[in-house]
Every structure is written in C-alpha cells, then in structure tokens.
Amino acid sequence: MCPKHGEQSVSYTSLKADGGCPECRRESISGNGHPNWQGGITPLQKHMRKYITEWTYGELNRTNYVCEITTYNGILHVHHMYSFKNILNYTLDQLKLPLYNNVEDYGESISLLTSTFLENNKLLANPVVMLKEVHEAFHSFCGGNNKETSQEQLEEFKATYTYNKIA
C-alpha cells in the first residue's frame, strides 16, 4: 500500500530492490526527478525533430553524404553548432510563447511555432555533417551532449582527432 498512489502490485524482487511503489519509482526517474531534466522541453523537441527531415537531407546532400571531418561516408549525423534546444528556446522567446509540458497545449499556435522554428533552424544551426562515431567523439571532446559547441572547439577537434576507418 502506497500512501501516495494507493494499492499497488509489485514483485518481491522489486519491493526489495527499490522500495516498492512502481508509480513512485517512475516519478523519481522522470520529469524533474531525473538528473537530465531540462524543464519539460523534451516533448516539444521530439515534435519539432519530425519537421527537420527535409533540412537534414539537404545538409547530407550538400556534403555528398560524407563526413566533413573525415571525408568518409557511413552513418551520418547533422550536428547543430548552435544547439537544437537553443534554437527552440529562441523561437519560443521570439514568439513570446511559454514552454508547455504538452505539445497539444500550444493549440493553433503550434503551426506558427513550427514554421518559425524551421526558419530559425536554417538560419542559426550552422550544421556540420559527421559520422555517428565522430559526432559522439566531438561531444565527448566538448564535455557532453548537453554542452554548447563553438567553431573554435570544432577546429581544435579537427586538428587533434584521429579516425581509424574499419575496412
């Protein structure tokens, strides 16, 4: 019996391992209880990522589907030098819209938000096409995925990074 969620069903192993209520456990590792919590922007980020596919393919085409660091092809990512999250926050500020936990809360404003975001993404992203493993190495070099990256960091990374292509 959970004081917050009432009667819950839980296995003995889970009860022993994490103290019981599955709902309390879920709440403790999601939302603002999770160490990676960024204020509820994730649902809106996921929504907006669906709309940048055409832009992504345009960037891949621009580089002839090769990594701008290694000149090899493979599984490619398009890195935002000005982060996707910051472009989204900039767009919200520009339109004077709050950050809602649910995309549906934007109502009719979502189409304006989406179109403005797409324009801002084209103008601000400063994209760099990278192999997946190069992209991961670049983020590690810069201090992690949630860190901003600069042109100076990119140049330093290019000068020091060695890529060993597996034949």
pLDDT at 16: 64
- Which secondary-structure segment (H or E) carries 130? strand 128-131
Tokens of 35: 């160490």
Check: pTM over 0.75? Answer yes or no: no
CA distances from 165 to 68, 78, 111 (A): 15, 19, 43
User: d(Cα 17, Cα 76) in Å, to the nearest integer?
Assistant: 40
Region 46-64: what's the mean pLDDT?
Answer: 94
Residue 10 has pLDDT above 80, yes or no: no
Q: Where are the beta strands (DSSP E) in 16-124?
A: 76-79
Judge contact between 78 and 122, C-beta under 8 A.
no
pLDDT at 35: 45
